[in-house]
Structure formats: structure tokens, C-alpha cells
Chain A
Amino acid sequence: MKIRLRPSFFPYTEPSAEVDISCHKCGGTGCAICKQTGWIEILGSGMVHPAVFEAVGYDPERVTGFAFGMGIERVTMLKYGVEDIRLFYENDIRFLEQFPSL
């Protein structure tokens, strides 16, 4: 699997990047899942914004950090082929019982 970083904007990181992974379905040639781009947006990331360090009492001249986070629904949908995000909020037992090991 390949990844790529695309510049983006988040208030708490600078620089910020969206991380894409190559589409697991088509392998990067383009399909409906990746909207013909070959890439799937998977997480937001970046270098911790100096203002964030200042707010919690670290000196941004001395400390740098990276931050990243992914939406749990999105990866779960990809991993288990869940097509509608609303299924996660409905708590229908016929859906929940499909994951006995989790």
C-alpha cells in the first residue's frame, strides 16, 4: 500500500497534511470507491502548531511534534465494507452482532 501527503489546513497543526492511501479496491487505477483518483483520504496530520505548545507551556523553539488522527468510522467502513455511516449511530443489534470479536 502506498501513501501520499497533501498539504491542507487544520487549526492545530502547521504545516498540515491530509494523508491518502492507495485505493485497496482498484490498486490505484481508479474506481468508484476512490472516485477515480486512485487515492483514499484516510487521516489528517501535521506538525503541532507553535500556538498549541505555547498554550500548554512548552517552548516551541525547543519542542516540535507531529500530530495525526483518523476518523474511526471511515477506517471501519473501509475495513469491513460498511456502506452507510449511519449504521454506526443506529445501534441496530443485527448490525452490532456481526462483530462478535470486537
Chain B
Amino acid sequence: MKVLLSWLRDFVDVPGSAEDIAATMSVRGFAVEGVEHLDHDDAVIDFEVTGNRPDCMSVSGIAREVATAFGLQVRRPAVSTALRRAAGQGEGGPALHLSSLKTVERGDIDIVIENPHLCPRYAGAVADVTIGASPEWMQSRLRAAGVRPTSNIVDITNYVLIELGQPMHAFDQARLGGGQIRVRTARPGETLLTLDGKQRELSPEMLVIADAERAVAVAGVMGGGDSEVTSDTKTIVFESAHFDALSVRRTSKALGLKTEASMRFERGTDPRLPVTAMERACALLEMIGGGTSRGTVVDRYPERIEPTVLKLRRARIAGLLGVTIPDGDMRRVLDALGFALREAAGGWDVTVPTRRVDVTREVDLIEEVARHCGFDRIPATFPALTVAPPPVDPRISRARSLRAVAIGQGFSEAVTFGFTSAPAAEAFATGDPVVSIKNPLSEAFAVLRPSLLPGLVESAGRNVRRGQRDVQLFEIGNRFMQQRGESQAIAFVWTGAGRPQHWSERPRDVDFFDAASLVSAIADSLDATIEMRPLTAPPSFLIAGQAAEAVASSRESSDAVATPVGLVGRLTAQVAESLGLPAEVPAYVGELAIDPLAQFRRSTLKAVAPPRFPSVDRDISILIDDTIAARAIRETVRSVGIEPLAALHEFDRYAGKGIPDGKVSLSLRLTFRSPDRTLTDAEVQRAMDHVLAALRGRHGAVQR
């Protein structure tokens, strides 16, 4: 709210510079965004008015706050008969004169309110005018407030809006059909050309101002072009009304049309103000020689809005603020702000001025007291209550271990947005519908992310496009799906080098096994046991043959059902490119749900003594079809169980010269160990024979 200092001083004789006023008001709830100095020692102070204080979106509203803060009296506009003389008083502003208007049932205009709950009050007054420019003082005040001057009549409505906070409108009476104003909802299919030159489609929940036939304004938002005041206008109807805040807000939002008027109405205006504002407009009209009012106002106000009365308890003030405010200070503040106090048991009954739409409960009154008595008067103390801190949420300690693992593997932690675009989300939704935002900020933030991956892949893409080929990013965060709901996950994206480059190793790019071993390390850090199962039909963002599902199971109880906890694999070029990650860089991704993983945590780790008896290693090389999964071979070897198998390693894999096409040579090292004796050669050989027989029988393996 830009307030011209000299305009403010029409209302209150506040001493000091604009900076002094700004400094005081900024600790009274009105932060100052800036002070601009003008000629003649004048200045514009730009106050930040919080959303709950529409009563301060005006010079007079700010003046009341300034008067309260400085302990001064505020001047109110008053009826005067010497209007023309007042206007002649040089360069300075006009005195706060009002015209006296007689309230009539039916004047030169007929007003009907069809929807009094959307329009509790509507005042109209007719005036004969000569259209021209408004005087320089009015124009310069409007400009200072950020309003562009146009013609004297429109300038008057804007002047009253800025000065008193009451939005007004002026119609050309000759262009109102039937000499009538009807406040009603729009008819189905009704349209209106608004003052900004746009044809607006209205809907039946929108309130409009209409003449006998058609809509002439969107109530509380904007007037219509057909009834606009033009240079030929001879007679006008001033509108000064009170509209339902929610209705104006909805209409303004639906039309995508925000105006100085709608911004005030949607926050809540003072139902007592319309006639005063009308009297001010008519006084200004005469003062600037723009015309004369007919001296009457038609004021439709079927049901008076009465001020609310709140209880204010002395003990409650001290209880909430932690400091005792003397009664005198409290009364002085509330009086100055226009609240009326009456003594009651233990405190007061306080009548709230109708302009204070923000004050609805006792605590709001206490805030007013605290605000103007000064928060700095509340001493700093520690709370009297001491409480033991609650135990750390297991999700926090889990996230800490996960972070340590990923960072240890060379990853950087990323934080991406919880919202993403619908196409980015779709690719990762895996069958469960995504959750759309009802009122999204933009298309890029239209849905809740079903996975952390779209954001991570986008971040990786940004890095790659900026020349960083080797990117390792992880994120711990929540994702959202309609059926599965919200769940915490850890996800990663890995592009470029699989190892940092060093002369001791040949450089190589990340592969599936790097990604899979990171998934295992993550599970290990939570003491969970997982198994990788190849996915023959992976979700569309992963490449088949390089995709696996991580399945958690319990080591301790065999009846626990194995649960899928996540996916790992190579990202398809199509999805990578759609998220801005150049497809020529191989990218592996993985994502694991944390809660189910944590469920499979081993309850307690129990140590066992190192084995007392030596182990025996046996190597075999077999020739098998290259389509057989390593996992199948492993399961076969383990299933034999003639002697206890302590370990199994695939230590060589060879295909090429000397090996038939479609076959592969696989070398396995089996380590046998018995807990209670040293195994003999014969026992081990018997075990190996069984293993070979099983491999031959199930996989057609041939020993080399």
C-alpha cells in the first residue's frame, strides 16, 4: 500500500520524517518495503499490508494505525457546506469534507438486490457531470498511489478507493437500460465486455450488476464497457456497495481478473462504509468542479450487519503474553483502534468495529494489545516447563545410515521437488494412478511425484548438459501414489564413470553390477537381506535384461513372505531424453522403499566364534548355454547340500575362441566347511560329484 505522506497528514498530524514513521510502523505490524522522496518535502511510504488487514488497504486505515502508534488523534471526514472554497485552497490536498446526502427509497435510480447474501448493501447516487480531466493535485496523489489518472469521474472513484478503502464505480446513466440497477447472478451463457476490452463468459454463480436487461458490471471486480463513462456522459450513477468476500474471490479467480476493487472486496470491506464513501465522492465532485450530485442516495441495506462483541479477560492477556499489561495501556490501544470497551466481570466486553474483519476471537484482541504495546516489552525467558526430548524418529536415524552409504560410494545428495509434470510422472507410475494437484502452480508442477527418479534424472541431465559427464546423485524423500499412498524412499541416478579415473585401473563406465551392488549396500546398512531378481518385463523406464527387482526376505523366519522393495536397472534412452538427460550417456537408476526394507531388519545381530575347522576349496569349470542366469546355477549348487557349503564364487567367465557359439565357460570356486570336523578329501569329492551331476541334469552343463 503506497501512502503519500501529505495525504496521510490529512488524517493525522504525525511528526517526523517518512523514515521515522516507517521505523515505528514496521514494529507495529506494517513492514515498509521502501520510502520514495518527492518534491516539497513529500514522500511515498510503501507499507506491506498483511492479508488479514483489508481495513489498512487505504490511507485512512493506515492513518488509524499511525495515530495509535504515535498516540495521536485521527481526523475523520465530516460534512461541510463550503466545498468549493475548500478546493480552492492552493496546492495542498482537499480537506476531508463530505456532502450530505439524503437517503431515499427511490431516487433517480431504482435499485433491486436479488441476492442479498452476496450483496448485503448497495448504494447508488446520481450526479450531473461535465467530463474532463481532474485537477493536478488529484492526479499527482493518484500517481503517487500507483493509479493512472484518466477522467475526473473515474479519478474520483479511485481517489475514494485509495483514501477510504471503499471500491466505487461510475455508470453512464443514459446507458443503463430502464433506469434500473439489478444486483443478481449471471444468467447461463451471459457475456460481458469488461473495461479492459475483453469479452467475458459469465457463469451463474457469479454476481453481476445489471440494468433492466443485461449485465453491466462484474460485481466487485470490474465494470462493463457498454455502460462506461465517456466524454459525452452527462449523468452518472455512482456505485458504492458491500459484496460477499468469498463470492468476489471466486469470481475474480474464475475470470483470471484481479483489480484494486476485487483485492479489497475479497479480503473483506466495511459494511458501514459505502454511504460515507458516497458522500466523499459527491463532495470531491463538487470540490473539483466536475458536477453536482442530486443530493440523494438510494441505500439498499436489507439486513444491517451488526458489530460483534467479544469477551476480553484480563487473566487471559497475561496468560497468553506472559507479561502483565496495565489496564490503562490496553484501553488506550483498543480505544485508538476504534474498539469500544465496557467493563465486565474479570475484564471487558469489546465491540469490534465492522471494518476489522480479522478480529473474531479474544486472542485477536490480545494481539492488538501486544502489537501496539510493543513486542519488545515482553521479556525473554526460558519456558518454565522442562521436557525430555522425544526419541529420535527411526526414519531419521535410518536416513542417516543410508546417507552415509551413498556418500561413501561417491554420491552427492540431491533435493528435488515433490511436484512434477504429468508426463514425467507417468513414466514412473508403475500402474498406480498419480495424484494430481487441484490447483497447480504450473504444468511443470501438476502432480505429486510417484517416484524420486524423474527429479533425479532431470538433475542428472542438467549436470550432463553443463559438461559434467560423471554424475552420482541420490535422494531420500517421499513419493505419492493414489493406491499405495505416501512412502519414504531412497533413489539414485548414476551416469558416466563406474569408478573414479586412476592409472591403476582401466577407466570404465558404470554398469548394472555397480548399480546392483549399491542397492545391496543400502540394504546392508539397514541390516536387511535382499535378493536381486531379474525382471523379464520391467517397467517402461528400464531396459529389459538390465533390470532387476530387489526383494527383501527374512533370514530368520522362513514363513515371512518375500516382499518387493524396489527396482534397479538401466534407464531407457527414451525416458532419459524426455527428462533432458542425453541418451548417449549410459544412466543407471535405482529406487528402494525404506519402510518395508526396514521391516526385514534382523532383530539382533548375534556373533558366532570363527570356525575351528579348516575349509576346503574346490574349483570346477563348466560349459553351459550363455542364456542361463547366474542365479539359477547358484541355486542348483546350493541345493545339493551333501556337505555344508560356506561360500560360492564365480571367478571366471569366458566365451570366444575355443568355446562353441551360444555357450559360455564358467569357473566356480566352492568352499566347504563343517562346523564339527575337518572334511576329508573323499567327502568333498563326493559332494562335488553331486554338484556336477545336478548341474548336468538341470542345465546340461559339461565339465571342461
- Residues of chain A whose beta carbon lies under 8 Å from any beta carbon of chain B: 4-9, 14-18, 47, 49-50, 64, 88-94, 96-97, 102
- Given that A6-B31, A9-B51 are contacting pairs, would A93 and B371 also be in contact in the complex, using a CB cutoff of 8 Å? no
Residue pair A14, B462 in contact (C-beta under 8 Å): no
Given A14-B363, A14-B364, A91-B414; 13 other pairs, CB 8 A cutoff: A4-B27, A6-B26, A8-B31, A8-B50, A14-B361, A15-B366, A49-B363, A93-B463, A93-B471, A93-B472, A93-B473, A96-B413, A97-B412
Q: Which residues of B contact A64 (CB under 8 A)?
A: 319-320
Residue pair A93, B412 in contact (C-beta under 8 Å): yes
Residue pair B367, A15 in contact (C-beta under 8 Å): yes
Q: Which residues of A contact B53 (CB under 8 A)?
A: 9
- Rounded to whole angstroms, the CA-CA distance of A16 and B358 in the bound complex is 13
Counting CB contacts under 8 A, is B304 at the interface? no
Q: Which residues of B contact A6 (CB under 8 A)?
A: 26-27, 29, 31, 375
Q: Which residues of B contact A15 (CB under 8 A)?
A: 321, 363, 366-367, 370-371
- Given that A92-B462, A92-B466, A96-B413 are contacting pairs, would A4 and B376 also be in contact in the complex, using a CB cutoff of 8 Å? yes
Q: What's the nearest-Cβ distance from chain A to residue B491, in Å? A: 13
Task: Tell which of B363, B412, B456, B466 touches A50, judged by Cβ atoms closer than 8 Å.
Answer: B363
Q: Which residues of A contact B473 (CB under 8 A)?
A: 91, 93, 96
Interface centre among A16, A91, A97 (most CB of B within 10 A): A91
- Rounded to whole angstroms, the CA-CA distance of A14 and B28 in the bound complex is 15
Interface centre among B26, B27, B31, B363 (most CB of A within 10 A): B363
Residue pair B414, A96 in contact (C-beta under 8 Å): yes
Q: What's the nearest-Cβ distance from chain B to residue A51, in Å? A: 8
Q: Which residues of B contact A50 (CB under 8 A)?
A: 361, 363
Counting CB contacts under 8 A, is B104 at the interface? no
Task: Tell which of A9, A94, A102 touches B50, judged by Cβ atoms closer than 8 Å.
Answer: A9
Q: Which residues of B contact A8 (CB under 8 A)?
A: 29, 31, 50
- Rounded to whole angstroms, the CA-CA distance of A9 and B664 in the bound complex is 72
Residue pair A91, B416 in contact (C-beta under 8 Å): yes
Q: Which residues of A contact B50 (CB under 8 A)?
A: 8-9
Q: What's the nearest-Cβ distance from chain A to residue B399, in Å? A: 13
Residue pair A5, B371 in contact (C-beta under 8 Å): no
Counting CB contacts under 8 A, is B52 at the interface? yes
- Rounded to whole angstroms, the CA-CA distance of A4 and B466 in the bound complex is 43
Q: What's the nearest-Cβ distance from chain B to residue A95, in Å? A: 9
Q: Which residues of A contact B459 (CB under 8 A)?
A: 90-91
- Which of chain B's residues has its CB closest to A90's CB? B462
- Which of chain A's residues has its CB closest to B26's CB? A6
Q: Which residues of B contact A47 (CB under 8 A)?
A: 320, 363
Q: Which residues of A contact B371 (CB under 8 A)?
A: 7, 15
- Given that A91-B459, A91-B462 are contacting pairs, would A7 and B27 also be in contact in the complex, using a CB cutoff of 8 Å? yes
Q: Which residues of B contact A94 (CB under 8 A)?
A: 468
Q: Which residues of B contact A17 (CB under 8 A)?
A: 375
Q: Which residues of B contact A9 (CB under 8 A)?
A: 29, 50-53
In the A-B complex, the 4 residue pairs with the closest CB atoms: A9-B50, A7-B29, A91-B459, A15-B367
Counting CB contacts under 8 A, is B654 at the interface? no
Q: What's the nearest-Cβ distance from chain B to residue A62, in Å? A: 10
Q: Which residues of B contact A7 (CB under 8 A)?
A: 27-29, 367, 370-371, 375
Counting CB contacts under 8 A, is B257 at the interface? no
Residue pair B319, A89 in contact (C-beta under 8 Å): no
Q: Which residues of A contact B27 (CB under 8 A)?
A: 4, 6-7
Q: Which residues of A contact B31 (CB under 8 A)?
A: 6, 8, 18
- Rounded to whole angstroms, the CA-CA distance of A97 and B361 in the bound complex is 51
- Given that A6-B375, A50-B361 are contacting pairs, would A91 and B463 also be in contact in the complex, using a CB cutoff of 8 Å? yes
Counting CB contacts under 8 A, is B613 at the interface? no
Q: Which residues of A contact B363 (CB under 8 A)?
A: 14-15, 47, 49-50
Q: Which residues of A contact B416 (CB under 8 A)?
A: 89, 91
- Rounded to whole angstroms, the CA-CA distance of A7 and B65 in the bound complex is 13
Interface centre among B51, B53, B376, B459 (most CB of A within 10 A): B459
- Which of chain A's residues has its CB closest to B29's CB? A7
Counting CB contacts under 8 A, is B513 at the interface? no
Interface centre among B366, B463, B468 (most CB of A within 10 A): B463
Interface centre among A8, A92, A93, A97 (most CB of B within 10 A): A93
Q: Which residues of A contact B319 (CB under 8 A)?
A: 64
Q: Which residues of A contact B462 (CB under 8 A)?
A: 90-92
- Which of chain B's residues has its CB closest to A88's CB? B415
Counting CB contacts under 8 A, is B417 at the interface? yes
- Rounded to whole angstroms, the CA-CA distance of A102 and B364 in the bound complex is 42
